[in-house]
Amino acid sequence: MNPKTRVVVIITFSSILSFCAFKYTDKWSDFKPYLPSICKTFNSSRLVENSYSNLDPQNQKSEKLSWLDWFLPSNKVELRTKTPWNAPILWEGTFNRTYLEEYYRNNPVTIGLTVFALGKYLDKYLEKFLASADKHFMPGHKVIYYVMVDDHSKLPYIEYGTSRFLKPRVVAKEARWQDVSMMRMKTLTDMLQDFIKDEVDYVFCMDVDMDFRAPYGVETLGELVAQAQAWFMNSPNTAFTYERRPESKAYIEMGQGDFYYHAAVFGGTPSRVLDLVRSCYAGIMEDKKNNIEAVWHDESHLNKYFLEHKPTLILSPEYCWDYKIHAEMEHVKLAWAMKDYAEVRDNV
């Protein structure tokens, strides 16, 4: 019922009630006690109507999306679905996919996906990663793949789908795999500052030695997105392999920490991801000056950053699963590739 019609109905109904009150009661005070419940009925119907209209994604155009609009934690009461700071932990079944897809159809976004494929990783993993991403990563939405390689001639040929764009970039390969892992933070900092921030609304940074298995969609979009490491999801923080030496900028004191985060996947808005990679790179370089290297390199610095800057959305292990844990995991969106590190790393 539109507002004008509602006003006419209320005035008409009030007039009838007033007439009945004077005609069939001795005085107005006999009828007055019934007015609150009548008014409540009108107000309730209006509130119900408004609550349903707010669930319509078409009414959300140009308005900021809140996880309260689409997150359904009560659907998975047997799982951990919220953080202590009330951020969602995403599992299959905890989000309204229809609502989200309709929202982003009305509010189109461009998503960036960065990946480094250097040396033997380029030969072994890149083609499968990109082919599976083209099928499952943000289906139906505009995606730009930022692919960093050390040999442009080895880029695999893939027929990308509609609204999929490849932007390759040649980067130098570090001598040690540890430095490849750490120095990507510098490359990402430069690229985000120079052009990525102007080309996309959200960006994900992923390792290449993985492949997509199922739709990895807009439910994963958020201001600052972290991936819970599958091996540590149900472990106490004392078991996390944080950097424990106070001399390192990645140091986390025993007993501190919320989750152990996987550096294979992180994302968010360009400004938030830029702040993350810039901070991690600064910590890595400070450690180098002090002749120390964090136990898990860039991942150690990433965990320190997320301890101090809480993610607004955490992806459950379904979004980055290792089948070495067990093969019965359901709803896997992205999986680690089975690999022999001696085969792909120059120094193990």
Q: pLDDT (tens digit, 9 = 90+) per residue, 163-173?
A: 999 999 999 87
Annotation marks residue 299 as catalytic = yes
Q: Is residue 133 scored above 50 in pLDDT?
A: yes
Confidence of residue 300 (pLDDT cuts 50, 70, 90): very high
Q: What is the structure's pLDDT at 24?
A: 39
Domain 67-344 belongs in CATH node 3.40.50.2300: no
pLDDT in tens, 49-99: 333 334 555 555 557 899 999 999 999 999 999 999 999 999 999 999 999
Q: 3-state DSSP call for residue 148?
A: strand
pLDDT at position 61 is 54
**CA 282 – CA 249 distance, rounded (Å):** 9
Q: What's residue 175's pLDDT?
A: 62
Residue 255 pLDDT class (50, 70, 90 cuts): very high
pTM for the full model? 0.81
The catalytic residue among 247, 299, 318, 343 is: 299
For the segment 171-200, the average pLDDT, to the nearest whole number, is 84
In this model, does residue 298 exceed pLDDT 60?
yes
Per-residue pLDDT, 324: 94
Give the residue among 313, 320, 223, 228 at the shortest CA–CA distance from 273: 223
More confident residue, 48 or 68: 68
User: 56-60, 101-105, 258-262, 312-316: which has the minimum mean pLDDT?
Assistant: 56-60
Do 293 and 245 touch, CB atoms closer than 8 A? no
Q: What is the mean pLDDT of the chain?
A: 84
Residues belonging to the binding site for Mn(2+) are 207, 209
> What gap in Å lies between CA 201 and CA 203, rounded to an integer?
7
Q: What are 233's two structure tokens? A: 């999801």
% of the chain beyond a pLDDT of 70: 77
Q: Binding site: which residues?
A: 121, 207-209, 241, 299, 322
Question: Given pLDDT bands bounded at 50, 70 and 90, which one contains residue 39?
Answer: very low
Distant-in-sequence, close-in-space partners of 12: CB < 8 Å, separation ≥ 6: none
**According to the model, what pLDDT value does residue 59 have?**
54
Task: Map out the domains of the chain as residue ranges.
Answer: 3-54, 67-344
Answer yes or no: is pLDDT of 323 > 70. Answer: yes
pLDDT per residue over 220-246, tens digit each? 999 999 999 999 999 999 999 999 999
Q: What percent of the chain has pLDDT over 90?
A: 74
Distance CA 317, CA 153 (A): 35
